[in-house]
Structures are given as structure tokens and as C-alpha cells.
Amino acid sequence: MNFTKKSLALVAFSFVTVMFSQEKPEVKIGGALRFNYNLSSWKDGQKKRGGDFGFDVFRINAKAKYKGVKLNAEYRFYSQSFGGGMLKQGWLGYDFNEKDNIQLGLTQVPFGITQYNSHSWFFGINYYLGLEDDHDMGLKFTHKGEKWEYALAFFKNAEELSFGSNSDVSDSRYSYDVASIDIDGDGALDLRYKETNQLNGKVNYHLGNKNIQHKIGFSAQYGGLYNLDTEDTSSHHAFALHYQLNAKNFDAKAQVSTYKYNTKNTTYSDLIALTAYGAPYLTATEATTYTLGTAYTFPVKWKPISSIQVYNDFGYMDKTAENFKDSIMNVFGFLVTAGNVYTYIDFAAGKDHPWLGPVWTNALANGTPNADWDMRFNINIGYYF
């Protein structure tokens, strides 16, 4: 009788142990609410008011994991004039081991310095050309070793919100992609393209010690450029050399990038349209960019402030077309960390830059002769949870 009781107790204990040792689904919900103040030198009315302060974005982040399969998604809600609601990223992933991972869905393109090739709220000039923090629809494999890390990816296309035969790319998106635009103002779209079947490769090499780390890398990108009117496919490509330095509280990011869109368009051979945040603009089909960003973080004990980072991000766009004016941007600023509140205080200057000047459509394309520097003072306050 005692043997039977012991056996039953052992079986019950084993069942409870197995039941509680099984992997349970992990779900994490987060997000952010941000407000923005800006004062721009080219907006007379705004200067008379002393700038404007308003809503920037509310976002929801979701992460989940069960039996090795992961989910990572971020949805953003902007005002309607900035594109409204949009999915920044959303992918399913699987970790084969501690070093190897695969992602499927709307995932970050492995090109250049990631996650960001900048420090400021404005990003760098490559972002406005679709070469920084870009996200497309596809499959990506990454390997992160002690010395070497690399990524290989295939992207079927950018974010696709309409599945018609020749549907134009939606302007409601977070990262800049090739799109359609009306150049002459007659209501008809003159340039209509889509990215398709893109391949990406990126490799980084780490060296240094626990006090000083260096990362040297190379990125390559090649894909199709589909003309929605002629239904022909040409090509586009981009390459980049990049370097990162981390030395305790100091870091630096340097990158040289070159890109080209082979549009085969005889009327607008030097122009291509890009879009994000609800509005497209033109850019040069071929250019080389140079970016350099530096930052130093000061730990402080000013409750609730725990650190202040001082940074400067510089970007130069050298356009290949002889009659095109080059574009420049520079952002000097501070990141103030206070608990879950992150505040970017930026002094942004631009020359032939759509977000830093009065010219929108042609700033990154042919530009403006004798363009002046324009300034924007910007404060972005966000609570991240």
C-alpha cells in the first residue's frame, strides 16, 4: 500500500514538474508618446508666433516569443498631414542559436551603419534618400560572431499597401522608398516606379579591447526598378563603406555611400521620386554621400536627469549631374535622459534639404542656385514605456 501511494505521489509530482517547465508564451507591450516644438527660419508666420508646439507621434510596440519563434512589430500614429497611421516594422523571427537569426516580414534593410547612422532626432542625410533605417518586405539572415558579423537579405518590395496590377506606392510610410510623383502640376503622375526583387549584403569586422572598440564594414545593394507605365524593369544599386568607434563615453560614425537609379527615362533621366510621411519629393538618380557623426555622453546626477549626450551629425550629398546643386545638412544637439523621458534638443541647418528649407520637391534633385543656409530649432520630448 505504501508503494502505491509513493508511486502515485511520484507520478503527480512529475506531471506538475513537466506542466510548469514547459515554455510559456512571452508577450511585451510598449510604446511612446512624443511631442515636438520647432522654430524654422524660413517660416515667417511661425517666427512671429515664437514657434509651434504640438503632437508628434504615438506608437505601440509589441514583442512576443514562443517555442523559439519571435514577433517584433511597431505601429505609429502620426497626424494625417504626416501620413497618419503606418507600420514602421513588423516581422517574424527565429534564433537558430545565439549567433544566427532569420527574420521574415517588414524588417530593417542591412545597409550601412545600423540601427542608425546618426545621433539626432533628424537622422542623417542618408535617411532622406532611403539609405538609413529603411524597412522593406522580405527575408533576412544575420550572423553575429565575436569578430565577424554579416547579413544577407532578399526583399520582394517595399511596404505594399495596395495589390493592384499597377498601383502606386502609398505615401503613408516611415522610411523613404521609390514612389510616384506629379512633376508639372497637371494632376497626372509623371514618374511612376516601384522597388522590386532587391538583394542586400553587409559585413562588419570588430577589433579592439574592452575600452576601445572599432567596427569596419561594407554594404552592397542591388535590385529592380519597375516602371508602372511601361511595365519594364531596370535596376538600381548602392554601396557603402562604414566605420564605427566606441571609446567609453565617446562614439563616432563615418560612412561613404554611393547609389544610382537606372530609370531609362529620357524625359526625366536624372530624377526619381521618393516618399514617406505623406508627401513625395524628387531626388537625383545618382549621388555620393559623406556622413560623420560624433557624440559624447556625460553621466550626471541631477534628479531625474541621469545623462546628457552632446552630438553633431554632418551629411553631404554630392550629386553626379553637373547642373545639380549639392545638398548639405548639419545637426548639433543634446539628448537629455530622465527616467523614461528622452528629450532631443537640436539645432539643425540645411542647404537644399526638403525638411530644412523652403524648397520641398526639388531640394534633393536639381536644388536651388545660390541657396542659403536655413535653420530649424527643434525640441522633441518623448515618454517611452
Residue-wise pLDDT for 202-230, tens only, equals 999 999 998 999 999 999 999 999 999 99
Looking at residue 198, its pLDDT comes to: 98
Summarised one tens digit per residue, pLDDT across range 338-357 is: 999 999 999 999 999 999 99
For strands 100-108 and 250-262, give the pairing.
unpaired
Q: What is the CA radius of gyration of the chain?
A: 24
Report yes or no: 96 and 102 within 8 Å, Cβ to Cβ: yes
Asked whether residue 8 carries a pLDDT value surpassing 70, the answer given is: no
Confidence of residue 184 (pLDDT cuts 50, 70, 90): confident
Average pLDDT, the chain: 94
Asked whether residue 22 carries a pLDDT value surpassing 90, the answer given is: no
Q: Is the dihedral of CA 252, 219, 197, 195 positive or negative?
A: positive
Dist CA 57 CA 372 (whole Å): 30
Question: What is the pLDDT averaged over residues 355-384?
Answer: 97
Quick one: which of 121, 148, 132 has its CA closest to 56? Answer: 121
Q: Supply the pTM of this predicted model.
A: 0.92
Quick one: which of 105, 94, 134, 68 has its CA closest to 276? Answer: 134
Q: How far is CA 69 from CA 66, 204, 273, 323, in A?
A: 5, 26, 37, 52
Torsion of CA 224, 228, 232, 237, to 10 degrees: -20
Question: What is the pLDDT averaged over residues 48-58?
Answer: 97
Asked whether residue 1 carries a pLDDT value surpassing 50, the answer given is: no
Residue spans of beta strands (DSSP E) within 116-157: 135-144, 148-157
| CA terminus-to-terminus distance, the chain | 58
Summarised one tens digit per residue, pLDDT across range 126-180 is: 999 999 999 999 999 999 999 999 999 999 999 998 898 899 999 999 999 999 9
Quick one: which of 299, 266, 301, 268 has its CA closest to 285? Answer: 268
Looking at residue 265, its pLDDT comes to: 85
Write down the residue that cell numbers 547609389 correspond to. 259
Looking at residue 12, its pLDDT comes to: 52
Dist CA 159 CA 152 (whole Å): 19
DSSP state of 209: -
Looking at residue 15, its pLDDT comes to: 43
What is the identity of the amino acid at 223? G
Looking at residue 34, its pLDDT comes to: 98
